[in-house]
Amino acid sequence: MRIGVTLPTLSADAEAALQAARVAEEAGLHGVFSFDHLWPLGHPERPSLSVYPILGAVASSTARIRVGTLVARVGLLPDEVVAASIASLHSILGDRLIAGLGTGDEASEPEHERNGLPYLGLAARVQSLGAILEHLTRRGIECWIGAGNAATNEVAREAGVTLNFWDVAAERIAREVAAGSAPVTWAGPLPKGVDAAAEVLVAMREAGATWVVWGWPSSVGLVTAAAAKAGIELGEPSGGSRARE
């Protein structure tokens, strides 16, 4: 099982996100990911870094670690722009890229309203998701789908791409893995203590999850300590980023 973290992109401080990616790589984590929000949910007065530019910068600031969207939301941009933006990241990152895609839900609707963007119905969002997914998989890009409603899950299963669940119980992961139609990953908040985090890692590994992605932690050291306690091997430290070689 692999371990990643989301970057601290719900702010205006791009350098903090870049530094976090470098620290994660040097610690041997397997991946870093960025949300795709116009502001932190429920806080329109606060900023959020744009997903594609910040991940392009992360790509040039790191050498080994995988880099992904978690998730790029359909409807914030035209489908063609989402597909082209992810394809551009792929041209920089190659197989280091993980393209997480999602349809969003009612919690993200205010972002559309406040910015004058149409909030399409679920059927239209699922159709867009399928079209973008087809474009990216034809290019050989690894894709994850933000799991949730049955229609979105079915798009992932039909394409044979990874389902990513946010903060669900290990039993749910085990059921999805047992269904056998698509790989399954898990993402969610990091517990405060090493023991509690290690317990989650063990439970998700036993359930069959291929990745655990923690929300940006207070300490990468807590993540590495939990991995060690759970017996999960991390990658070799990078020894520095491209930017410093």
Work out the percent of the chain whose per-residue pLDDT is above 70. Answer: 96
139, 106, 98, 146: which is closest to 122 by C-alpha?
106
Tokens representing 237?
């430290």
- Record the pTM: 0.93
CA distance 38 to 43: 10
Q: How confident is the model at residue 39 (pLDDT cuts 50, 70, 90)?
A: confident
Please give the radius of gyration of the chain, using alpha carbons only, rounded to the nearest integer. 17
In this predicted structure, the answer to whether residue 135 has a pLDDT above a threshold of 90 is yes
Tokens linked to 245:
């070689």
Range 135-143 average pLDDT: 97
For the stretch 148-204, pLDDT in tens is 789 999 999 999 999 999 999 999 999 999 988 789 999 999 999 999 999 999 999
Quote the CA–CA distance of 30 and 234 in Å, as a whole number: 7
CB distance 5 to 33 below 8 Å:
yes
Q: Residue 108: which H helix or E strand, with range?
A: none
Q: In sequence order, which residues have a C-beta less than 8 Å from that of residue 53 and are 6 or more positions away? A: none
Domains and CATH numbers, the chain: 2-244 (3.20.20.30)
